[in-house]
Chains A and B, each alone.
Chain A
């Protein structure tokens, strides 16, 4: 059920990373970022049940949370990590207004501002999680 949703979110995410030449690693990918470099870690592999956040709320409708972690080297200030997290938030919720992403008859809606969580120090990085809540209508196809 979720298969058509993640490619839509991934495409939107790619626009952000390509525009800024950011490194991004999806969970499960074999990728080792150079030590202490700024990068993002995303968790939207639909086959990984442990990170799936799907709920059968209504017939033909799914909703879930797409998590993006901003990994900023500890040498940078905490503010940098948070600023980037707010950029991610703005990318998925531009002008404080939601977006609709449509592809292949499926519409993914981001209707509430993504939530920027508290920054946590982890292994030499400052990590700021950003949780993007999405809704999808699947009957449209």
Chain B
């Protein structure tokens, strides 16, 4: 009798732990999708707000996951499409376990474009304009994913 009971409860617990495992797995997938969606949207808005002269500044937006990119990339991307695709591809490696997602630009005049501007140009505030939009971005991405499911 005792053995039977423990056998049953064992079966039940296996089924229950399977359900919990599925739930944990599903939640992890959804969270990863959300985090990547947020990263994509932030990067997209920052790149959109980046001024284009030659396209070198645009081309230099780089993603670092837990590590800050230090190199300056050669090349230009005035159309912004190549950099958006590259950043989006890099974001696919992002997961909720990661500690930091860094969007970096190592062009020396990136700081001028962000905070100082030039004689006849105000600062573009490429990143700072996006900071206040964070809550809106999270809501947008969550809604987008909910509709997709």
Q: Which residue in B123, B124, B125, B136 is a CB contact (below 8 Å) of A56?
A: B136
The interface residues of chain B lying within 8 Å CB-to-CB of A69 are: 115-116
The interface residues of chain B lying within 8 Å CB-to-CB of A52 are: 129
> B111 interface residue, CB < 8 Å from A?
yes
Q: Beta-carbon contacts of B120-135 to A below 8 Å, as 1s and 0s?
A: 0011110011011101
User: B122 to A48, Cβ gap below 8 A?
Assistant: yes
Task: Give the CA-CA distance A118 to B133 in the complex, in Å.
Answer: 23
Q: Which residue in A56, A127, A131 is a CB contact (below 8 Å) of B128?
A: A131
The interface residues of chain B lying within 8 Å CB-to-CB of A55 are: 132-133, 135-136
User: B112 to A50, Cβ gap below 8 A?
Assistant: no
8 A Cβ contacts from B96-141 to A: 111-112, 115-117, 122-125, 128-129, 131-133, 135-136
Q: Is the interface of B mostly helix, strand, loop or mixed?
A: helix
Known: A55-B132, A57-B132. A50 touches B115 (CB 8 A): no
Interface segment among A13-21, A59-67, A93-101, A103-111: the answer is A59-67
B137: nearest residue on chain A (CB-CB)? A55
Q: Is the interface of A mostly helix, strand, loop or mixed?
A: strand
> A122 interface residue, CB < 8 Å from B?
yes
User: A120 to B111, Cβ gap below 8 A?
Assistant: yes
**25 interchain pairs, CB-CB under 8 A:** A27-B122, A43-B125, A48-B122, A50-B124, A51-B125, A53-B129, A53-B131, A53-B132, A55-B132, A55-B135, A55-B136, A57-B132, A57-B136, A63-B132, A64-B132, A65-B125, A65-B129, A69-B115, A117-B115, A120-B111, A120-B115, A122-B116, A127-B115, A129-B116, A133-B131
Chain A interface residues (CB < 8 Å from chain B): 27, 43, 48, 50-58, 63-65, 67, 69, 117-118, 120, 122, 127, 129, 131, 133
Chain B interface residues (CB < 8 Å from chain A): 111-112, 115-117, 122-125, 128-129, 131-133, 135-136
